[in-house]
Structure 1
Amino acid sequence: METRVALLGIVIENKDSIEQVNMLLHEYRQYIIGRMGIPYEKRGVNIISIAMDAPVDVISALSGKIGRLSGVSAKAVYSKLPE
């Protein structure tokens, strides 16, 4: 299956959703290249960037599941070239 490299940006405003985000990321761990998390206490948010190499439908599914959580926003940016 064709894969794409993508960056998934996540902003968590509701601290009660952090565990659910981590569970979803664990579920998709086979597609994750790397992860960087930044707790921004001044604004009360957590910012996570996830580098992925996965089929487009997998990236989209993860982004959608995370984005539906309470107080969480997610957006994927895809590489222009396929595998």
Structure 2
Amino acid sequence: MEKHVCIIGILVNQKSENAPKVQQILTKYGSLILLRSGIPYSKCDRGIINLTVEATPDELDCMTKELSSITDIISKSMILANDANQLQICSL
């Protein structure tokens, strides 16, 4: 099945309580993650996680649904490239 290159943004509210749950999901889907960066908002007990992933539509859907199933977590995704294989082809 064709894989997409996607960006996923995750807002983690109640970070002290929810970070372990989010980390468990990210570990489960770790093979899909190309890049992960995060910004802590410790004063507000929040955090923002940015992911770049290479995933099939089903994998992306499952991952974002699992993340969004956690109370106080907001997860949004955006497809950057419909066919990841096309990004590996360079014509000179």
TM-score computed with the length of structure 1 as normaliser? 0.91
Q: Residue 18 and residue 71 in structure 1: after superposition, are their counterparts in 2 closer, same or farther (change >3 A)?
A: same
Structure with the largest fraction of helix:
2
Match of 1:6 in 2: 6
Match of 1:58 in 2: 59
The Cα offsets for residues 3-40 of structure 1, whole Å up to 9 and x where unpaired, read as 00001100011221110100000000111001001102
Match of 2:87 in 1: none
- Aligned length, in residue pairs: 83
Give the conservation status (yes or no) of the 8 Å contact 1:60–1:76: no
Unaligned runs of 5+ in 1: none
TM-score computed with the length of structure 2 as normaliser? 0.83
Higher-Rg member (1/2): 2
Unaligned runs of 5+ in 2: 85-92
Cα RMSD between the aligned structures?
1.2
Counting aligned pairs with the same residue, the percent is 25
Give the conservation status (yes or no) of the 8 Å contact 2:3–2:82: no
